[in-house]
Structure 1
Amino acid sequence: MTHTENLEQADVVKILRDSGYVMLTTALDDGKLLAHPMVPQQVTDDADVWFFLGMKGDQAVALLQNPQVNITVAEAGNWLSVSGRVEFIDDQSKMDELWNDETAAWFEGGRNDPSLGLIKVTGDSAQHWGLKGGKVSALAQIAKAKVSGDRTGGGSATTQL
C-alpha cells in the first residue's frame, strides 16, 4: 500500500477508543510471542491505554519480564498497530474510576480480587493501514473492488506517539 495521508495521534486515539476489543501482544523470556484479546478501559488523549489484567496468568508474567508490547486493532478496512511499553499501576482510586460491570464478569472477587491488576500502555509509535470513511464505507469499497476487480485504494501511515 502507498502512503496516502498523515497519521496523527488523534487518529490513533479515535481508532483505539472505537475498538471494543484489541489484541495485546507480549514477548515471553524465550522470545515466543503471546497475544490476548483485551478490553481497553480508557484511552487518554495522549494515546495511553489502560487495561485490567489477571496477575496470575502467562500474560502478567511476560509483562513483568519484558514491558514491550504491541496493541493491534483489526476491522473491516482498518488495521492499527501500536508499539509501546507497559507500566503496572498500583492505584486503588484509578481502579475504582475504571471499574465497570463488564470488568466484574472477569474477576470473581470484584475490585478486591487478589489477582486483579491494572496496567497502562504508553505508546511509542503507531502504524495504520486503512481505507477512508470508516467501517461502512470500507466494507462498500471492499465489496466494490471484489466485483470490479479494482484495488480498494487506501494506504498506510506511521506516527510517533
Structure 2
Amino acid sequence: MADDTKKLVDLLEDMPIGMLTTFGPEGPRSIPMARQEVEPTAELWFITVKDSAHSRAIAAEPRVSLTFTARDSWVAVYGRATLVDDREKLAELWTTFAEAWLPGGVDDPNAVLLRVDVESGEYWDTPGGKVASLLSFVKTKLTGDTYDADHGTVSG
C-alpha cells in the first residue's frame, strides 16, 4: 500500500463521523454519517436506511464525496457508493448507535450497508496538535513560508 494511502486510512481510524455528499437528481446534499469500518484499501463501510433520500440519490448517481475532521487533521475522499444488502456483514458491523435510526435492529428490512470505494482523496495533518499548529502559524507569519502541515493525495 502506498504511504499516502496508509496515512489516509490511519487518519480515518480516528474519525468516526463524516459528512457524506451525494449528487443525485435533486443536486448536492450532505448528511452526517457514522463510519463503521475502514478497510486497508480505503474502502469505507456505513450502516444506513434503505428508504432514504441519500440512498435514492446514490442509486441514481453513485459518485459521492466524504469529509472528515479531527482536532488537528482533515480528510476529503471521493468515490463510488454502493448499497450492499449483506445481513452477515451488517451483523458484523452493527452497533447500538444504529438502532436510533433502525429500531428493528439487524433484522430491520430497511437496514442496509453503504460501501464507499475511495477513488481519490486528500488529507491534511498537523502532527503535534495545537502547539505544532501554533508554531507553524508563527513561522508562516515571520518567514512568509506556507503553513507546515503534512499533506498528501491518493488516487485509485
TM-score normalised according to structure 1 size = 0.83
Residue 15 of structure 1: SS of its match in structure 2? helix
Q: State the percentage of identical aligned residues.
A: 26
Matched, 1:141 2:132: yes
Question: Could you say which residue in structure 2 is the equivalent of 1:128?
Answer: 123
Count of aligned pairs? 151
Q: Kindly state the Cα deviation for residue 144 of structure 1 after the two structures are TM-superposed.
A: 4.1
Question: Could you say which residue in structure 1 is the equivalent of 2:155?
Answer: 160
Q: Kindly state the Cα deviation for residue 43 of structure 1 after the two structures are TM-superposed.
A: 0.7
Residue segments in structure 2 that go unaligned for 5+ positions in a row: none
With CA pairs under 8 Å and 6+ residues apart, which has the higher RCO, 1 or 2? 1
Counterpart Cα distance in 1 of 2:95 and 2:71? 28
Question: Could you say which residue in structure 2 is the equivalent of 1:93?
Answer: 88
Residues 152 and 140 (structure 1), Cα distance of their counterparts in 2 relative to 1, 3 Å cut: farther
Counterpart amino acid of residue 124 in structure 1: E
Question: Could you say which residue in structure 1 is the equivalent of 2:23?
Answer: 27
Residues 145 and 45 (structure 1), Cα distance of their counterparts in 2 relative to 1, 3 Å cut: closer
Higher strand share: 2
Residue segments in structure 1 that go unaligned for 5+ positions in a row: 1-5
Deviations 1:66-108 (CA, angstroms, capped at 9, x unpaired)? 0001111123331111111011112111111111222223311
Q: Kindly state the Cα deviation for residue 42 of structure 1 after the two structures are TM-superposed.
A: 0.9
Contact in 2 for aligned 1:7/1:128 (Cα 8 Å): no
Question: Could you say which residue in structure 2 is the equivalent of 1:3?
Answer: none
Question: Could you say which residue in structure 2 is the equivalent of 1:13?
Answer: 9
Counterpart Cα distance in 1 of 2:94 and 2:3? 31
Counterpart Cα distance in 2 of 1:145 and 1:17? 25
Counterpart amino acid of residue 27 in structure 1: F
Counterpart Cα distance in 1 of 2:4 and 2:134? 28
Counterpart amino acid of residue 4 in structure 2: E
Contact in 1 for aligned 2:63/2:80 (Cα 8 Å): yes
Counterpart Cα distance in 2 of 1:18 and 1:97? 20
